[in-house]
Amino acid sequence: MSDARQIEAEIYERLSKVIDPELGRSVTDLGMIAAIEATPADANVDTDAYDVTVHVELTVPGCPLSETITNQINGAVSSYPGAQLNTHIEVGSMSRDKLADLVADLKAERRQNPFSKPGVKTRIFAIASGKGGVGKSSVTANLAATFAALGYDTAAIDADIYGFSLPRLFGVHTQPTNLNGMLMPVTAWGVKLISIGMFAGADRAILWRGPRLQRSLEQFLSDVWWGEPDVLLLDLAPGTGDMAISVAQALPNAELVVVTTPQPSASDIAVRSGLVALQVPMKVRGVVENMSYYEHKGEKLEIFGAGGGQRVAEQLTEALGYDVPLMAQLPLEPEVRETGEAGRPAVLTSEGALRTDGIGQTFRSLAERLMAL
């Protein structure tokens, strides 16, 4: 094998470690490396310098992660230790036939909901509430961002079809990439997301009933390429309607997290959302009390009363016959609303790191408790 051919083979091996962030596979396995050409930088001089051109074929033109993938490929080639390389990356896109073959292979692995298969390691948490307005979606968004910041491969489904809000809370204004009928979730703040709001638009009213609601969830699970996330969160619609039942049927290993606020008018209804576990194969993992207090000049003001979260936990423990703990009490903080409406989960800094102050530590503790068992 000539030096040039050896360099090409060794670079191909190095590129097998470069992972496509959407599909979770190496760029070589996906057929994205069309060719590697290595030639001496000066054919008339015996030198260790080579010009290397890597021909990259992305799945679609204008791939949103084109720059990320190209930078990773460039880094893998440039760090080659065996010779001095002048790297050139030529980026194109796959032919229609090649893309169709790739999608067919990927779909063959995902003929059904991947999260219902035996042995799946993904922890699934369905975030529920008895009524709207208790901050369920905000809790979901910040919890998902916390998991991602802690290094977990994290996915989130906006299963609140009528009141979708995760796109806004994550600052998402784009649609998922469609690969011949297979959707790539949109990634924001480290979390892979899908929501009907990405398709319907923020100003559309969704008028769906039972079977169509169930089908939407099945499509989110089966027709979206999630890879193999460590954590999947579902932001459920308030109450105990069709979607909660559909989640329990499609994801029998899901664990329910009930969100409430302190006042009885919210906590009494929150108990009902947890009692769904008596009728479907789903365990209630715990209770989160949101808006527990407002801190003003060092004093905790219980604006909405006190004890609602603990009441829900105790009633569910008694009704279900196993321990349902109060896992967190979250303060009422205007910053959570302000940053959320601006498109960034409040637990993150502007650089995307998990905050080390109160709210960051509170959600970190909640995430660690959820993953402990």
The first and second tokens of residue 25, run together, are 């596979």
Helix (H, G, I), strand (E, B) or coil at 93: strand
The neighbour count for residue 175, using CB atoms within 10 Å, is: 11
**CA dist list (Å): 203 to 132, 162, 175, 226:** 19, 11, 15, 27
Say what angle helices 136-149 and 358-371 make with each other, to 10 degrees. 80
Say what angle helices 66-78 and 3-15 make with each other, to 10 degrees. 130
d(CA 9, CA 135): 54
Reduced 3-state DSSP string for 126-145:
EEEECCCCCCHHHHHHHHHH
Helices H / strands E in the chain, number of each: 12, 15
Contact (CB, 8 A) for 193 and 167: yes
Q: What are phi and psi of 357, to 5 degrees?
A: -90, -160
Q: CB neighbours of 68 closer than 8 A, spacing ≥ 6?
A: 21
d(CA 322, CA 100): 49
- Binding-site annotation, residues for ATP: 130-137
Q: What are phi and psi of 199, to 5 degrees?
A: -110, -40
The sheet carrying 33-40 orders its strands as 33-40, 49-58, 84-93
Helix (H, G, I), strand (E, B) or coil at 260: strand
- Binding-site annotation, residues: 130-137
Contact (CB, 8 A) for 234 and 124: yes
d(CA 313, CA 138): 20
